[in-house]
Amino acid sequence: MTKPEKPTRDQLQPGQNLCDFCTAKCCRYFALPIEEPVTWDDFEYIRWYLLHDRASVFVEEDTWYILVHTACKHLQDDNRCGAYDTRPQICRDYTTDNCEYEDSWTYDIYFETPEQVEEYCEARFTRPGDERFRSRRPTQLPIVG
């Protein structure tokens, strides 16, 4: 049995539900806010998070999050909740008003690997104990007067 073609939100007919056409993205991860890293040492924690399988870190509207890509144990093959009547309050409060149904979200910053964090830090900070520049300073131009 094939799923019906995925309509846009404004194409839904009365009585239709976005969840009937979705792949249950909201049930395939969780994201928790974390403190904004500001030092090299803070970013070492971010690198450590990303050494764990199925984790990523992102920034959205100036808030940093750790995201764990893992499906809810009650998610069924039809992308519906197998514990709907006893689901947690966070699931009861969730609405489709701002969900990721359209696949159109982007993040301000997104890290999937510890190497990406290291590159970001190298561009942003000097390594502790290393006062060198990434490239040598250009010579100053003479003042013409």
Q: What is the pLDDT of residue 4?
A: 60
The residue ranking higher by pLDDT, 29 or 16, is: 29
Angle formed at CA 84 by CA 81 and CA 85, multiple of 5 degrees: 165
Over 60: is that where the pLDDT of 133 sits?
no
| pLDDT, tens only, 38-91 | 999 999 999 999 999 999 999 999 999 999 999 999 999 999 999 999 999 999
Confidence of residue 137 (pLDDT cuts 50, 70, 90): low
Residue-level pLDDT at 43: 96
**58 CB neighbour count, 10 Å cutoff:** 18
pLDDT at 143: 83
Q: What are 12-21's pLDDT values in tens digits? A: 888 888 888 8
Distance of alpha carbon 116 from alpha carbon 130, whole angstroms: 20
pLDDT for 144 beyond 70: yes
Closest to 121 measured CA to CA, from 35, 46, 20? 46
Q: What is the pLDDT of residue 34?
A: 98
The whole-chain average pLDDT of the chain stands at: 88
